[in-house]
Every structure is written in structure tokens, then in C-alpha cells.
Structure 1
Amino acid sequence: MASKEGEVKIVIDPHDEIGEINGNIYGHFIEHLGKCIYGGIWKEGGLDQRVVDLAKGLDPPLLRWPGGNFASGYHWIDGIGPLKDRSPKFDLAWRKIDSNTFGTNEFMKLCRILHAEPYICVNMGSGTAEEAANWVEYCNHAGGSHYSNLRIKEGEVKPFGVKYWGLGNEVYGDWQIGHCDATTYARKALEFSKRMKWVDASIKTIAVGCDDPQWNWEVLRTTKDTIDYISLHKYYYDPNYYERVAAPLEAEKSLGRLAATIFAATGERRIKIAFDEWNLWHPEAKLENGLRQSPVLADAIFAAGIFNAMHRLCSEVQIACFAQLVNVLPLIISDGEGARTTPPYLTFKLYRQHTGSKALRVRTSCETYSSKAWGDMRVPIVDVSATLDKLGKGIAIFIVNRDIEREMKCDMRIAGLENCRNAEVHELNGEGVENTDVKITRNQDISFSNEFVHVVPPHSITVIKSTIDSR
């Protein structure tokens, strides 16, 4: 499958499936940090409808809260009851006063409006297993117990039914309240998960993982019979555009290592990966400005690379959360000028709208370039993934052209396709990779057959969507 300069060979067999894609890989994250919650989602004692409307446009499947670092010092009981009776508390994680006016009930209201599955991270920094189990009781128990009755007293008769529960956040780092070693964390996580599942056996718990195989091994060996996921957090940046858009390959390798560690430590593949914090972190985003940054087209292309990687790793990665939804390294910016979207917001919208339920194996041959920032690896100039819908008839091909200057001629071969038909073409692009002015366009339909050629423009994300013959 050798290719010439500026040419790409892509071969897809609709019968060669990798596995099922869990829609939760398009999840999101909100934290009591900067102006993500207060001054973003929540303004003057209520949800900001401008932000909510833009969030709806993402069709978010999953929303993680309350942190992040904030979770390691958050006591959920402080955030329930009438708003006027809630006392502000000093947050040690970000050294700010938190009003506690956005708590569990407000989060659940937001999830209901967005039709998003709630994902709550419990406090394993200053909190206890009893406190975590009580939170599960408050959210999920039908009634007749102390904490479920508190929920009912607030007018929430029906249980919230929170399925996903994170067992702390990044406690491997000394920046975290409750920092500890892997052995200590694993023992605590075992106890937390056990007690929480005694309240509701149907919940899924997510243990803290990281990019250290020894940490992950210890946590998995101890908790393997009670947890359901292990997490990974990754943030990237490099001033060089080509290094930035190469970073998803490093993420793919890290996720692959974690998947291998899961199997080595447990002897099975039951436990899945929650890639529940990921993003580019620009140098301009500092605590002093609430981690505000201005994402550009390069961020959108980076996000597409992450999604393609997760398509390929769909059997292992079943949850992912972009960090964060509003104002903090944002998809949505809300300020005095109003609420508006950023380039990676459009990547989410494009993939969420067109991704099918099954990932297909794709063979791609193209030029590569060398990346030094992420471990001296070869990076394909074009990255491709493909999916099928649940009926096995609708195919979507996602093509990322990383090249700044050159269009790429893609020689496409679709195995077993007998008849020619039309295909939709959707393109995300902008004037330049450091430009914030980015849009999605619906291009002219093309002929889709077992062999066809399509040219993708520089620095672009292209989706080709069509049908295949009955299987």
C-alpha cells in the first residue's frame, strides 16, 4: 500500500469490525473552578439559558461533576437544602470561596435538561466512605431512609439513579487533598466502592488511574473485583502546530498501555477505561485568569485525532470527558459579550452527529513526519477512522488532514461495495490553524463506490457519509 507524496491510500472493509462504540466517549466535565460553574453555567442563582442552549447543541451523553481537584475537598451535604440556608465554604483546592448554591440537585437538573447521564466524583481527599455511601443513598435510594428522605423533602420524589461514580481524583499527585501512595489509595478505594455498592449494587465505580503502570497495577490488583473502570487524565500543549496535532497518538499509546495493564493485572478485560479529563492546555490559561484560553482550529484538529484514537480503542475506552465544558479550557465561552462556541465545540458536534455504533478497522498508507515532543514517533499526515450504524448499513468515514499547506488526494477502496451511490461530505475548516474563525460546511455530494478518489483540503476534518449494501 505504498503511497506517493500528497496521496493517501485508504482501505475499509465494512465486515472488519473493531467493536461497539460507547457514546459516552463524547462526554463532558464541569468543575467548581474559575468561571465554569459560577459565572458560566450558573448565574444569579439559576442556570444560564444561553450556555444551556449551546450545551444542548452538543447532545452531551455524559456529564462529570464536581471535580477535578475540587472534589477532593467537597462535602456534598453542604450543597443541598434551600439556597438561602447554604453556607459558603473556603475551597482548599482552588483557594476560593464557594457559595454552595450549585449542588447535587442543581447538577441533576442540568443533566435532565441536557439529557446527559450524570457522573459524580466523590471526595476521597478529606471525605469518608460513609459520606460517599450516604451520597449514593441520597441520589439513588427510593425513600424511607434518612438521606433519601432529605431528597424527597426537597421535592425530588423520584430517585436520581446516578450510575457512574468516581472514586476520588488524581490522589497520586501532591497537588491533591488526600495525596497518597497507590497501596493506600487502593485499600481506600476498595472500601469506598464496597460501601457505595452496598447501598446500590447497580452503580459503576471508576478508580483513579494515571500514566504510571506501577500505580495502575497496584490499584487494579486490589480493587479488581469491585471497580468497573479505571481513569486516565491527559493534557497536552506544544507551540509547534505539528506537535500539537500529533499528541493524540501519544494519548492512544497511553490508553493502550493502560488497557494492557488491566489485562495483565486482572487476567480479563471486564474493567474499562474512563479517559475522563483530556484537552490541550494553552500557556495563556492560568489560575489567575480562571484557566481561560482561546482555542483555535489546531484545537479542533487535535480533538478529531482524539476521537479517531478512541474509535480504534472502542473496546477498551468506554467513557471520556473533555475538560471542560464552559470557560475553563473551554468548548463554550460565556462572558459580558454573551455565550459563544469555540473550534473544538464544532469537532464534538461533527463527530457526535455522524459517528455510528460500530468502529471499523481502517488501513491507511500516507506520508509521515517525525514528532519529538511525544517520544520520537512517526505521525501519519492523514488520520482516518470509520464507523457503521447499528443496522450495519450507514457508513461514516472521518478523515483528518494535518498538513498545513497541502491538500491530500485520498484513494478510497470500500470492500464489497457493489453499486455506486451518493455520499454526503461535511467539512470542518478555517482560514488558518491558529485562527478562531472555524465552521462546518456541507459540501456537494460525491459518488461513493468500491473505488473512488476524494481530495481533502489542508488543515481539515472531513466526514464522508453514505450507505453500504445489506449485510
Structure 2
Amino acid sequence: MTDRLKATMVIDREFQISAVDPRIYGSFIEHLGRAVYGGIYEPDHPLADERGFRTDVMELVKQLNVPIIRYPGGNFVSGYNWEDGVGPVDKRPRRLELAWRSIETNQVGTNEFVEWAKSVNSEVMMAVNLGTRGIDAARNLVEYCNHPGGTYWSDLRISHGYRKPHRIKIWCLGNEMDGPWQIGHKTAEEYGRLAVETARAMKMVDPEIELVSCGSSGSSMPTFPEWEAVTLEHTYDEVDYISLHSYYGNRNNDTPSFLAKSLDMDQYIRTVIATCDYIKAKKRSKKTLYLSFDEWNVWYHSNEADKNIEPWLVAPPLLEDVYNFEDALLVGCMLITLLKHADRVKIACLAQLVNVIAPIMTENGGKAWKQTIYYPFLHASTYGRGTVLNPVVSSPKYDCAEFTDVPYLESVAVYNEEREELTIFAVNRHLAEPLLLQCDARSFENYRVIEHIILEHEDLKAVNTAEEERVKPHHNGNAEMREGMVTASLPKASWNVIRLKRKKP
């Protein structure tokens, strides 16, 4: 291996950050664009099941092994009456959906989505409306979903054909309530008071649920992180998580800066953790608050096209970013960043899952296919289960327009003790040169490299379509392990998955 650039890494099985909560590989489906109608649900599609759900989409979702899916929004939830989406489908109202200026038919609602989630082996993370509604609607929805029976709302669920309660565990207390674009936008004090009283009422109905308090809708908000500090003064004792949202784009076609944006994500996480721990100290609390990074992705390709969408259509093609190869590299870096904070980030949702800024795209009446970002998420979800190790990394660095001291190597390791496997995830950010990785893994005696997966492409702007999958991984990496040292050449601008397994005696 003659790579001119070299990075070193030390991995020890005793240097542990935390066990990975599988919910870090969650996703999100909102009643927005073609995420639901034309995405997961299309009764007239030749591959639809008896309920109207597309089986081809279900298979692609199942491959991703998504343990939890946030629903029904998003901005949508701040104007949503959940009662519109239950009961006989032919009696459900059509509504003006104000957040995305569309028509909501309510053909799919709570029960249908819970059924669909089960069919893709996932749980539901339910959001309640704290924009136009509040305590009463939220407690009634918990009763409808989770109470066994013998009360008005639980018996109504039973009359709708769902005898067993859904037992939804995770609930979001509204969505992005700090944002002026949000229906029912609130100050931090207003939200904190409403959220804590709603939380108390919801937990009176079902003490077993866990709650997510609204954090800032992005680290660039002028009220960040004061919003977290003020709202947590109210909600800290009643909630289990606080939310984070972040999207990145390459609007200036500055790829070195774009691939470094996971550093911004890392700083965002650190700031929220510091704020949570400040409130913990201030309250003399023994409880540690965890993070729910329940919206994250690349999002910018569709911004201009969305301005031309005619309002008040049913399922218009909104937010349909067509992802390219460099987007997949940043998604890989963001996944690594989430894993590095596995001690505090317990839930994360790639936003979203189908058609709307999504790894899966569909044609109405036609094919479903994998976007470029599908693959790093698939690899992390498949092989990133176990315990995150804290690597000691030394990498050459670069400066760019937006960041300084950006390491060419972005990497983390996950040890699965039960399966006796070690997985190294690594991105080489260098756009012109391969990177020689030398990794000291001597604490993993008798391990060997069983696979080196690489996602690479000569064209950073290459995309996948229904007709052609231009960006897909190959298994021709050259990683090897000798005398406890793993060496691998990481191609220029590449996502790498190096898998090691203990040799059988």
C-alpha cells in the first residue's frame, strides 16, 4: 500500500463509550408530499397488499431494519386533529393542511400506520399537537392508543377494530415549537408550561410512556440554546429526552465544507448535552436527560422546485431531493457522529423514509428504488449494533471555507460481543487522494477481516434512478489484519465498512 496520506487509529475493547440503543437507527414519516400517499400507501399499485400498502416499499424498509418511526409529523402535527384519522375511512374528512399547503384526505391515520409499522418490524414514535391543541387532545390520544378498554376512548378504538391497545411507548410533545413557521408557535416559557402540564396528564393516563420535549429546530436558531435552558426548567422532571433537528446542504457547491458539516452536528450535540447538564445541576437532579435527534439528513436539492408546487393538491411531490454520491458521504459522517455520542443520543430519526428527503424513492404506479444515502444507513443499521468504542485517531487535516482542522478520516468502531464482531466505519473526506488507515486492534486477539465494503464513485454528483443504480457498494476493499494491526486503503471520497470476526478455534 503506497498511499501518501496516512491516518492511525487505536481501538481497545475496554475503551467503551456506550451500548448502541437500536433506536438510533430510527426514521420518520410525515403526512407531507408523497411520504404516505404514493409512498407507503398506494391502493391502486400492482404491488399493494389488501390494506393498500406497497409491498415493494415495505421490503426496502425492512432491509434497513428501522426499529422506530416518528409519526405523523413534523410541521403537519401542529395543525392535526388526530380524530380525523380514525374510524370508518369513508367518513373521514378532507382537510386543508396548512403547514405544507396540501389537502389531507385522512385515508391513513393512527391505526393504519401502527399496522404498517408492525409489518416492517418497527415501533411508532407518536407526536401530539401542541400548536392548535393541547392537554385534552393529547391525553385522549394516549387513552385511545394505550388503554386496554372500558373507557370512552379505548372503547372507541375497540369499536374501530383494534381490540388490543397499541402500547405506543415514545411520545413527542409537539414539533419545532420555537419556529415562527410553526402553527401555534410559542415562546420558550409558553411552550415549557404547556409541555409540562401535557406531560403530566399523559403520564396519568399511562405512566409507562416516555416523553420527548421539543428542543430547538436547529443550532442556527437565534434562541438556541436558551430555548433548551428555559423549556427544561419546566419539563426536566417529566420528560426523558429532548429533541434536536439538523439538515445540511451544499448550496455553494463547496464539497470540502459540505463534507465537514458533521463537525457542526457534533458541536450541536455537545452544546445540548451541556445545557441539559446545566439544568440537571441547577435542579440538583440525579436524572440524566437523553437526546432524541429525531430529524437529521441532507436537504436542499428540492428547495427551488418546491416553490413552484401548486397549493392544495393531494400528495404533491414536495421535498423530493434526488441524492447524489457526496450526500451519501455526509450521511455516513453524520451516522458516525451519532454513534460517537451513543452515551447520550438514544433515539435518532433519519428524516424522512420514503420520497420526502428519503433513502427510498417511488414512482406512482411504478418502481421503488434505493437512493445513494440508503447504503450508509443500511450498513450502520446492520453492522453498528453493540458497543461503541472510543478510538484514538490521528489524521491529517484540511481547512476550507467554513471549517478549519477538518480530519480527512472520520471514523468510529462498534464491538458486538455476542456475535464476536468488530466493525470499523470510516469516511475518507479527501477528494483526490486515497488514505492509508493503520489501526491498532491488538486487544482483539484472533480476529480477522471478513469484509471490506466500499461506497465510491468518480462523479460526486452521481445519482440513482428507477432505471439505473449508479451508486452502490462493492466488496473489493483490501483491508487486512496482521499481528493485531488492521491496514486498509480508503479510496478518495469513500465510505468504508471494515468488518472483523473472531476466528473459531
Report if aligned partners of 1:418, 1:469 keep a CA contact under 8 Å in 2: no
Report if aligned partners of 2:449, 2:498 keep a CA contact under 8 Å in 1: no
Amino acid at match of 1:41: I
SS of match in other structure, 1:94: coil
Cα displacement string for residues 194-236 of structure 1 (whole angstroms, at most 9, x for unaligned residues):
0001000010110100131111001111111101110011111
Aligned 1:199-210 pairs, distance under 5 A: 199-210=205-216
Q: Does 1:300 align with 2:328?
A: yes
Amino acid at match of 1:218: V
Q: Does 1:426 align with 2:426?
A: no
2 CA distance for matches of 1:423 and 1:48?
35
Aligned 1:34-433 pairs, distance under 5 A: 34-44=33-43, 46-210=52-216, 211=219, 212-238=224-250, 239-267=253-281, 268=286, 270-285=288-303, 286-287=305-306, 288=309, 289-336=317-364, 337-373=366-402, 376-391=403-418, 393-419=420-446, 421-433=448-460
Residue in structure 1 matched with residue 314 of structure 2 by the alignment:
none
Cα gap change, 1:67/1:93 in structure 2, threshold over 3 Å: closer, same or farther?
Answer: same
Q: What CA RMSD, in Å, does the superposition of the two structures yield over aligned residues?
A: 1.8
2 CA distance for matches of 1:453 and 1:16?
20
Cα gap change, 1:407/1:155 in structure 2, threshold over 3 Å: closer, same or farther?
Answer: same
Residue in structure 2 matched with residue 12 of structure 1 by the alignment:
11
Using the TM superposition, name which of 196-205 and 456-465 deviates more. Answer: 456-465
Report if aligned partners of 1:6, 1:406 keep a CA contact under 8 Å in 2: yes
SS of match in other structure, 2:11: strand
Residue in structure 1 matched with residue 467 of structure 2 by the alignment:
none
Shift of 1:363: 1.3
- Return the match for 1:456 from 461, 486, 490: 490
Cα gap change, 1:271/1:445 in structure 2, threshold over 3 Å: closer, same or farther?
Answer: same
Give 5+ residue unaligned stretches, structure 1.
Answer: none
Cα displacement string for residues 420-447 of structure 1 (whole angstroms, at most 9, x for unaligned residues):
6343212222232211121122236754
Shift of 1:269: 5.5
Shift of 1:25: 1.0
- TM-score in terms of structure 2 length: 0.89
Using the TM superposition, name which of 33-42 and 221-230 deviates more. Answer: 33-42
1 CA distance for matches of 2:104 and 2:268?
35
Cα gap change, 1:244/1:145 in structure 2, threshold over 3 Å: closer, same or farther?
Answer: same
Report if aligned partners of 1:431, 1:438 keep a CA contact under 8 Å in 2: no
Amino acid at match of 1:359: V
SS of match in other structure, 1:410: strand
2 CA distance for matches of 1:165 and 1:417?
40
1 CA distance for matches of 2:65 and 2:148?
28
SS of match in other structure, 2:73: coil
SS of match in other structure, 2:456: strand
Cα gap change, 1:462/1:191 in structure 2, threshold over 3 Å: closer, same or farther?
Answer: same
Cα displacement string for residues 124-148 of structure 1 (whole angstroms, at most 9, x for unaligned residues):
0001211101100111000111111
Report if aligned partners of 1:62, 1:118 keep a CA contact under 8 Å in 2: yes
Report if aligned partners of 2:301, 2:322 keep a CA contact under 8 Å in 1: no
Shift of 1:20: 1.2
- Return the match for 1:438 from 471, 496, 503: 471
SS of match in other structure, 2:161: coil
1 CA distance for matches of 2:143 and 2:202?
8
Amino acid at match of 1:180: K
SS of match in other structure, 1:353: helix
Using the TM superposition, name which of 176-185 and 33-42 deviates more. Answer: 33-42
1 CA distance for matches of 2:392 and 2:417?
22
Amino acid at match of 2:262: P
SS of match in other structure, 2:362: strand
Q: Does 1:465 align with 2:499?
A: yes
Cα displacement string for residues 318-347 of structure 1 (whole angstroms, at most 9, x for unaligned residues):
111111111111211111441111011111
Structure (1/2) with the larger strand percentage: 1
Amino acid at match of 2:27: H
Using the TM superposition, name which of 320-329 and 44-53 deviates more. Answer: 44-53
SS of match in other structure, 1:430: coil
2 CA distance for matches of 1:202 and 1:297?
42
2 CA distance for matches of 1:258 and 1:377?
22
Cα gap change, 1:31/1:417 in structure 2, threshold over 3 Å: closer, same or farther?
Answer: closer
Cα displacement string for residues 27-71 of structure 1 (whole angstroms, at most 9, x for unaligned residues):
111111111111211113721222222111111111001100000
Shift of 1:391: 2.8
Amino acid at match of 1:227: V
Report if aligned partners of 2:4, 2:436 keep a CA contact under 8 Å in 1: no
Amino acid at match of 2:178: Y
SS of match in other structure, 2:38: coil
2 CA distance for matches of 1:393 and 1:133?
45
SS of match in other structure, 2:100: coil
Cα gap change, 1:203/1:390 in structure 2, threshold over 3 Å: closer, same or farther?
Answer: farther
Give 5+ residue unaligned stretches, structure 2.
Answer: 44-50, 310-316, 464-469
2 CA distance for matches of 1:173 and 1:422?
48
SS of match in other structure, 1:440: coil
Instruction: Give me the identity figure in percent.
Output: 34
Report if aligned partners of 2:78, 2:131 keep a CA contact under 8 Å in 1: yes
Cα gap change, 1:144/1:253 in structure 2, threshold over 3 Å: closer, same or farther?
Answer: same
Cα gap change, 1:395/1:32 in structure 2, threshold over 3 Å: closer, same or farther?
Answer: same
Cα gap change, 1:340/1:171 in structure 2, threshold over 3 Å: closer, same or farther?
Answer: same
